[in-house]
Amino acid sequence: MDPKSLYLLEYPKILARLKDYAAFSASAALAGSLRPTANLEKARTLQQQTREARYLLTLSDSLSFQGAEDLHPLVERANHGETLEASELLALRSTLVISREARRILEAHAQEVPLLSDLGESLSEGLGLVDAINKSISERGEVLDSASEALGHIRSEIKVTHSRLMERMNHYLNDPATTSMLQEALITQRSGRYVLPLRAEFKGRIPAIIHDQSASGATLFIEPLAVVDWNNKMRELELAERDEVLRVLRRLSERVAEQGESLKASTEAMAALDFALMKARYADDLHATEPELVPFAQDVPDFHPGSVIELRLARHPLLDPEKAVPIDVVFDRETFAVVLTGPNTGGKTVTLKTVGLLVLMAQSGLHIPAQSGSRLSVFKDVFADIGDEQSIEQSLSTFSGHITQIVRILKRANQRSLVLLDELGAGTDPQEGSALARAVLSALLNRKITCMIATHYPELKTFAHATQGVLNASLEFDLETLKPTYHLTMGLPGRSNALAIAERLGLDRDIIEDARQELNPTDLRAEDLLEEIHRQRELTQANYAESEKLRRELEAKQKILNARLEELEAEKSQILERAQDQAERELEQVRQELAELRREMNKQRTKPAELAPLVEKLAEITENQERSARKQRQPRKAPPSGPLRVGEKVLVRRLKTEGVITALDGDEVEVQAGVLRMRLRPEEISRRVQIDEEALEEPAKPVIGRTQLPEVVSPGMELDLRGQRVEDALDRLDAYLERASQAGLPFSRIIHGKGTGALRQAVREVLQTSRYVNHWEPGGEKEGGDGVSVVFFEGH
């Protein structure tokens, strides 16, 4: 990739932000050296690694390399025979523990993260090195007695020798004859030997070796001759301890050198894995998505290179996501060049940088801040000439600097390149600049080079409209606020807003009209037409938004209606099921009573007449059930022959509502029922003859005398009284029982909860005495247990 273009597109700033997510130095170095790849398969692999890393971040035992160290320097020193410090060996051990844990996680999720799992195979577990370091070095970095047998023995001797030496030194502190000679009762060290602070005036009173004196000369630090041998022995043991500690560290360092290659490979694997996690964390913070990377298309027109750019709701990754305006940059099947126009500071440069930077990120394995489903080709090179870059060394002007960069781009670009040019032809005479811009664009088109060009020349808008493979695009400007909106519109050139802005700012209307007269009539008509196109487009968008809002509202209402229908069907099924169960229980009870009476009759010779009432009741129940069964078995009449017709009245079975057929479409019928329009299958409706037949099958409403009772709406199959005061709950219960009984419900559930039992007791006392209630029973295990009372109403 072209280094200058990477800089102009701010790619280094992306890498700087990526480095902030590094857990240790080795992965940070990888971020700094990241470059886009021009290989499609490699780019897809890098994207997959980022996707797998984002998956790992969602796990409760998420992968982390925080606290790991780059082992390369330690291994190199060990390879050269150097002895590593205890603290360095501890750091190496911690890194190996992190490596071991990472390998465990990757092996556990190998199916979900195959690429990262492959990297994890290089993670070293230390082959006993971790245990050796744990045995030899404490968490504070001290070599342990257990590091070697010799070291344990030496330290044991040191303790004994030190104890005896202190005994003899303390004799001088405790003996009244010598205590007064000492500056203070203190044992200290000088040159590694234990000494006493003797007052200078008592010099020679205690046979001793003088090792030091205070700055004032008032204190002499003496080693009594009586402890010289013990001090000598102590010093010998300390030197032996030092040598043995060095031998322990040297042995551990040699083991590090033996495993040097695997430790370096492990560091590289950890760096690669942490780098994938860095990309994943950056993607999460950007709310980025994985782009679909596609090869250059083959089934395109001859003039087209086959490149694909489809960025939807794309945002510049370096801008504040709360303020950045998302844009759609979509090259259709016949477009490979876009001419971008719009107001100054209106977002043309940011648009170019957004496209270029997202392409570079995608080819670097980074997810991009755009909507899921965005598609991009993998370009061999991305070239850019953006901003006011100048070649100060050559003392070139802005125009010359741009031309120099364009010359370099044209020499290197090909059909697999993406070229982004900002303000092409600017910085010189407008007429010449326009001609030059058109010529450069023509050269790019002739060579089938995918490009986006930002310009303020109106001639390029006309050229783009008339040229195959080129599409106009514009950034909008709000004439009310006199500010750019940064919204990108593909397919329409930008409007010239100079006169409109001047008029809004208060310039005299006569001057405005005079300026309009100076304009080319053709250009003026084109601008007026463009203004009308933009206006119609905005109106269309507003209408579409309104229709979408209405559609969503209708869908929501349809869902509510469907849910209510399902509830009614469920309620109906529940009523029928409970009624059937109740009838079967009653029948079984009568049968049991009859059997019992027969047994008693056989025993006591009861008269058959005494069984008459029970037999009659059994016969009545049996007859009712048989009648119901016959009615269910009775076949319906066949519908009238002939096809359904538009305009024919039908019954919508689920809604029990009459409607009119408005359209026939294959196996579906469109029916209008009031404000509701539905698409139904033929078996979901009844024809006119069936409507009359079904009306006859409706159960008769209860009649008292000649007055027919009005139908009562069902209050529902349950009443929830939890959380209410007892008095309020009982008022609701009385009203509910009356309505449920009038509606003909066979049973219902009263939910009162368990709680303290006060509400439950009050409810059941009412149920016990209510004239609407036949009997009640506690709810079953699946119905709520003792927190529910199931009520069976009179007449059912």
Q: In 363-473, where does DSSP find H-type helix?
A: 398-412, 430-446, 458-466
Cα–Cα distance between 415 and 379 in angstroms, integer? 9
Q: What are the tens digits of pLDDT across the range 562-594? A: 888 888 888 877 887 777 777 777 767 766 766
- The least confident of 31-35, 272-276, 572-576, 746-750 is 572-576
pLDDT at 432: 83
Question: Which pair of tokens denotes residue 288?
Answer: 């980025």
CA 61 to CA 14: how far, in whole Å?
Answer: 29
Residue 521, classed as helix, strand or coil, is helix
Of the candidates 13, 12, 32, 11, the one whose C-alpha atom is nearest the C-alpha of residue 22 is 32
718-793 topology per CATH: Ribosomal Protein S8; Chain: A, domain 1 (3.30.1370)
Q: Which of 283-287, 345-349, 603-607, 713-717 has the lowest mean pLDDT?
A: 603-607
Q: What is the DSSP letter of 380?
A: S
- Confidence at 522, pLDDT banded by 50, 70, 90: low
H or E segment and range at residue 103:
helix 86-108
Residue 789: phi and psi, rounded to 5, are -120, 125
What is the per-residue pLDDT across 451-489, written as a single tens digit (0 to 9) for each?
Answer: 999 988 888 888 888 889 999 888 877 666 667 777 888
pLDDT given for residue 37 in this prediction: 96
pLDDT at 701: 41
Residue 708 has pLDDT above 60, yes or no: no
For range 145-170, the mean pLDDT: 90
Query: Tens of pLDDT along 494-518?
Result: 666 667 777 777 788 888 778 777 6
pLDDT score at 14: 96
Tokens 């801008």, residue located? 319
pLDDT band at 45 (very low <50, low <70, confident <90, very high): very high
CA–CA distance, 501 with 477 (Å, rounded to integer):
10
Q: What is the pairing mode between strands 668-673 and 676-680?
A: antiparallel
What's the whole-number mean pLDDT along residues 770-783? 84
For residues 639 and 652, what is the distance between their CA atoms, to the nearest angstrom? 15
More confident residue, 560 or 716: 560
Report DSSP state, residue 193. Answer: E
Q: How confident is the model over 704-708, as a mean pLDDT?
A: 36
pLDDT of 711 higher than 70 = no
Q: In this predicted structure, which of 219-223, 642-646, 733-737 has the lowest mean pLDDT?
A: 642-646
Q: What percentage of residues in the chain have a pLDDT greater than 90?
A: 37
Residue 632 has pLDDT above 50, yes or no: no
d(C-alpha 564, C-alpha 572), whole Å? 12
- Mean of the pLDDT values across residues 734-755? 84
Query: Could you tell me where the beta strands, DSSP code E, fall in 200-315?
Result: 208-213, 219-224, 292-294, 309-314
- The rounded distance, in Å, linking the Cα atoms of 377 and 311 is 11
Strands 657-665 and 649-652: antiparallel
Q: For residue 698, what pLDDT is reported? A: 43
Separation CA 255–CA 248 (nearest Å):
11
Taking CA atoms, 344 is separated from 253, 451, 524, in Å, by 65, 21, 21
**pTM of the predicted model as reported, rounded to 2 decimal places:** 0.62
Q: How do residues 358-382 score in pLDDT, each as one tens digit? A: 999 999 999 999 999 999 999 999 9
Residue 537 has pLDDT above 70, yes or no: no
**Quick one: CA torsion of 502, 508, 509, 511, rounded to 10 degrees?**
-80
Under 8 Å between Cβ of 353 and 316:
yes
SS3 for 773? strand
Which pLDDT belongs to residue 520?
62
What tokens appear for 188 in the block? 């200290």
Between 571 and 86, residue with greater pLDDT: 86
Contacts of 34 (CB under 8 A, 6+ apart): 15, 18, 364
Region 116-125: what's the mean pLDDT? 90
User: What is the pLDDT averaged over residues 94-120?
Assistant: 92
The pLDDT of residue 696 is: 38
Q: Which residues of 265-287 are buried (b: 16+ CB within 10 A; e: fewer)?
A: ebbbbbbbbbbbbbbbbbbeebe
**Among 352, 327, 326, 350, CA closest to 339:** 352
Q: How far is CA 405 from CA 77, 442, 453, 574, 713, in A?
A: 48, 17, 14, 80, 82
On whether the CB atoms of residues 359 and 493 are closer than 8 A, the answer is no
Report yes or no: 224 and 172 within 8 Å, Cβ to Cβ. yes
For residue 37, the tally of other CB atoms under 10 A from its CB is 17
Q: Is the pLDDT of residue 426 over 90?
A: no
pLDDT on residue 204 = 86
Q: Provide mean pLDDT across the span 510-539.
A: 65
Q: How confident is the model at residue 700 (pLDDT cuts 50, 70, 90)?
A: very low
CATH class of 292-497: alpha beta
Gap between the Cα atoms of 361 and 5, Å rounded: 14
CA 360, 363, 367, 373 dihedral sign is: positive
Compute how many other C-beta atoms are within 10 angstroms of the C-beta atom of residue 318.
15
Q: CA 562 → CA 550, 568, 651, distances in Å?
A: 18, 10, 17
- Three-state SS for 453-476 is EECCCHHHHHHHHHCCCEEEEEEE
Per the CB < 8 A criterion, the answer to whether 530 and 492 are in contact is yes
- Is residue 440's pLDDT more than 70? yes
Is pLDDT at 4 greater than 70 in this prediction?
A: yes
Q: How far apart are CA 43 and CA 55, in angstroms?
A: 19
Phi/psi of residue 55, each to 5°?
-65, -45
Give the C-alpha separation, 189 to 204, whole Å: 20
Mean pLDDT of 96-125: 91
CATH class of 3-127+259-286: mainly alpha
Q: Which two tokens stand for residue 52?
A: 């797998």
Calculate mean pLDDT across residues 431-446.
Answer: 90
Mean pLDDT of the chain: 82
- Whole-number Å distance between alpha carbons of 25 and 378: 30
- Work out the end-to-end distance of the chain between its first and last CA atoms, rounded to an integer number of angstroms: 85
* H-run or E-run covering 747: strand 747-751
Per DSSP, which regions of 350-429 are E strands? 375-377, 381-385, 417-422
In the chain, DSSP finds a helix count (H) and a strand count (E) of 23, 25
pLDDT over threshold 50, residue 142: yes
Q: Are 342 and 265 in contact (CB under 8 A)?
A: no
Instruction: Say if residue 555 is exposed, middle or buried (CB neighbours under 10 Å; 0-12, 13-18, 19+).
Output: exposed
Residue 618 has what pLDDT? 54
Sheet order of strands, 292-294 included: 292-294, 375-377, 309-314, 327-330
Q: Is the C-alpha dihedral spanning 633, 638, 644, 648 positive or negative?
A: negative
